Chain A
Amino acid sequence: MSAEQTLDEQSAAVPAPGDVLLEVNGLTKHFPVMGGFPFKRQVGAVQAVDGVSFDVREGESLGLVGESGCGKSTTGRLLTRLLEPTGGTVKYRGQDITHANRKQLAPIRSEIQMIFQDPYSSLNPRHTVGTIISGPMEINNINPPGGREARVRELLEIVGLNPEHYNRFPHEFSGGQRQRIGVARALALNPKLIIADEPVSALDVSIQAQVVNLLQGLQRELGIAFVFIAHDLSIVRHFSQRVAVMYLGKVVEIADRDSLYNKPRHPYTHALLSAAPDADPDTAANERIRLTGDVPSPLNPPSGCRFRTRCWKAQEKCATEEPPLIQLGGNVDGHLTACHFPEDGVAPGAKPADTIPAARLAKD
């Protein structure tokens, strides 16, 4: 299958929202920090993910964007239960899997799969492609009609690799091809949901588009829902119907993509959008909101609104009161923003806008 073949029918297939597949409520992950004297004890916690809520519907793609350390990858690992949540709930098809044990998870494991960022370290170098892809079937004791090998060959074909490569080893493939192997492995059990953690950021530019198109084709043809984790706003926009922006372990804004990219309300979303470089010399992206400094430590996040230390609109209220994630007036349904002093909802490129004085840059 090639992604291009299916592109024409896309607009018809995508928007119809299915039932809620994954329901995430107040998801929290705190990593303990040990210290103290003379005996070690927990002295703090890295608040990697702190009260994140969202839904993923059948067949849709939800994008998670944010800077490094915002908790997007941890969220992905919590959804697949590679990490044990500290709090909140994750429901899959109505079933609470937050703390489900191995046995309870077994039937669900095959339906939720993961694709990793690094195509080099996520494939066992000592296993053949055939073994890697049939691994999930073996573990879950699934025997597809026609045998596992036939299924693997079929999967290789679906992801655009030569089925004859069944007996090759990962090192014989390029980065893009390895990522395809990872995709084939994720597809082996006919998943309903794939968590893709930065699936293209380790690839060369010309290869990124190949993998994005492959995933997009899968989403449409097989109706697989995606949680698409990435730091590249353009790719997330291209791939995901809905997008959640994360900052320091919290979702600060979530909306369908048109609303989010055209009418962003959270200052952080604004800043992110305006910082994303665009290759077209004619777009009016010259207006720039310059965030100063770096993301604060999740070990000791700012009180109230976590973005306030870098926000040019911050006032006293932001330090004392955490803004709830709510639908602001003027926003379409499902566009939620967590901000006390939201922007007026004009895309950063579209207006000459309040540029931040250069002095801010030096202040850090």
Chain B
Amino acid sequence: MLRFLIRRALGALVIIVLLIALTYFAFFSLPTDPARLACSKGCTPELLAQIRTNMHLNLPIYQQFWNYFSGLFVGQDFGTAGHCAAPCFGYSYNTQSFVWDRIVANYPATFVLAIGGAAIFLTVGVGLGMIAAWKQGKLADKAATAIGLVGQSTQIYFLGPLAMALFVVNLHWLPQPAYIPWTQDPWGCFTGMILPWTVMSVIFWSNYSRQVRSLMLEQLSEDHIRAARAKGMSNTYVWWRYALRGAMAPIITIFGLDLGAVFSGAIITEVTFGVHGLGYLAVIAVNQADLYLELGVLIFSSVSILLFNIIVDAAYGLLDPRVRIG
């Protein structure tokens, strides 16, 4: 198992390096002048020249890339803007700050949103799927499927404002959604995030409920379920210990991939609810054409997705003894 993980980690490392290079060159081969973009209103030729020097834009592109890449590990100097300590993802001129600091500042919101949302969509989705499988063909099955379908066909930017209008504006049950660090105010954090969590989870439900339903039905038709019943195990025991156990491994796989997605920033949810997370940061970066910021967020998200991929593989090995690899 450890060998497998190390091998996967090494592989991921290679992918990350390639990814950084590819993204970097893609961004900086755009027919725009990063210095001009960075030099906002009131730009003078002197200022532009200084930005150019600070951003090392006078150097050949491969050297620029080397600076950026090595900066990730040892930091980098940005002239008058100062020294950017490792891990240095560059300097955001629009906001006059280092990219890494911005990411660090915004990440907790994304993290909390992801954890809460994932917990809700996993429980609700799996729950709905289990009900549907248990009551196969009955009303409850159809209801669960319908709920899932509604979730799948709705949009966050529609459901979000609607929920806010209802629970925040009309009923006054909840405060305006916002991220408050839970270290400061756990209850405030919870009430501020409950709407984003729930609304974000809605779009994931249907996938889980459908998968769980079909996986459970598939498991229940397998021989080892019949064999377990033939040795006197009760239906509920067989249901939980045998069928759910078998359905779990594939579910964990999709769950891990979805986690990768939400942990790298749920753009629409964050913008809809004004939660200042990584997705929100990405939108700002794109809006302001802040290349280093975009690059930083992108690399950070990709690494996060890769990381969850490895975790999924490891979890799969733990869940299914047949794929435990030496």
Q: Is B104 an interface residue (CB 8 A)?
A: no
In angstroms, Cα B146 to Cα A336, docked, is 70
| Separation of A40 and B6 alpha carbons in the complex (Å) | 12
B4-19 interface with A by 8 A CB criterion: 6-7, 10
With both beta carbons as reference points, the residue of chain B lying nearest to A39 in the complex is identified as B7
Instruction: Check: B3 CB closer than 8 A to any chain A CB.
Output: yes
- A197–B125 Cα distance when bound, in Å, is 47
Q: In the assembly, what is the distance between CA of A38 and CA of B10, in Å?
A: 9
A8-42 vs B, CB cutoff 8 Å, 1 = contact: the mask equals: 00000000000000000000000000010110100
Number of A-B contacts (CB under 8 A): 9
Query: What residue in chain A is nearest B7 (Cβ atoms)?
Result: A38
The 9 closest A-B CB pairs, nearest first, are A37-B3, A38-B7, A38-B10, A38-B6, A37-B7, A38-B3, A35-B326, A37-B6, A40-B7
Chain B residue numbers with a CB within 8 Å of A40 are: 7
- Please indicate the chain B residues that have their CB under 8 angstroms from the CB of A35 in the complex: 326
CA distance A37 to B11 in the complex (A): 13
Q: Which residues of chain A come closer than 8 Å to B10, judged between CB atoms?
A: 38
Within 8 A of A (CB), among B201-228: none
Task: Identify 7 new A-B residue pairs, CB closer than 8 A, beyond the known A37-B7, A38-B7.
Answer: A35-B326, A37-B3, A37-B6, A38-B3, A38-B6, A38-B10, A40-B7
Majority secondary structure of chain B interface residues (helix, strand, loop or mixed): helix
- A226 CB to closest chain B CB, in angstroms? 35
CA distance A37 to B3 in the complex (A): 7
Bound form: Cα–Cα A117–B65 in Å? 59
> What residues on A are CB-neighbors of B7 within 8 Å?
37-38, 40
- In the bound complex, what is the Cα–Cα distance between A37 and B6 (angstroms)? 9
Q: How far is the CB of A40 from chain B (nearest CB, A)?
A: 8
CA distance A37 to B326 in the complex (A): 10
Residues of A20-79 whose CB lies within 8 A of B: 35, 37-38, 40
Measured CA separation A170–B305 after assembly (Å): 45
Across-interface contacts of A37 in B (CB, < 8 A): 3, 6-7
A151-182 vs B, Cβ < 8 Å mask (1 yes, 0 no): 00000000000000000000000000000000
Q: Chain B: which residue is nearest A37 at the CB level? A: B3
In the bound complex, what is the Cα–Cα distance between A277 and B7 (angstroms)? Answer: 50
- Chain A residues contacting B3 (CB-CB under 8 Å) are 37-38
Q: How far is the CA of A40 from the CA of B7 in the complex (A)?
A: 9
- Complex: chain A residue closest to B2, CB-CB: A37
Listed A/B pairs (9) with beta-carbon separation below 8 Å = A35-B326, A37-B3, A37-B6, A37-B7, A38-B3, A38-B6, A38-B7, A38-B10, A40-B7
Minimum distance in angstroms from B18 CB to a CB of chain A: 17
A301 to chain B, nearest CB (A): 22
- A111–B6 Cα distance when bound, in Å, is 51
Task: Name the residue on A nearest B6 (C-beta).
Answer: A38
In the complex, the chain A residue whose C-beta lies closest to that of B326 is: A35
A43 to chain B, nearest CB (A): 11
A37 to B9, CA, bound (A): 13
Shortest C-beta distance, A1 to chain B (Å), equals: 41
Contacts of B6 in A (CB 8 A): 37-38
Most buried by A among B6, B7, B10: B7
- Interface of chain A residues 192 through 210 with chain B (CB within 8 A): none
Closest chain-B Cβ to A41's Cβ sits at a distance in Å of 12
Which residues of chain B are near A38, meaning CB under 8 Å? 3, 6-7, 10
CB distance from B3 to the nearest CB of A (A): 5
| Interface residues in A300-320 (C-beta closer than 8 Å to B) | none
Q: How many Å from the CB of B313 to the closest CB on chain A?
A: 15
Which positions 34-76 of chain B face chain A at CB distance < 8 Å? none
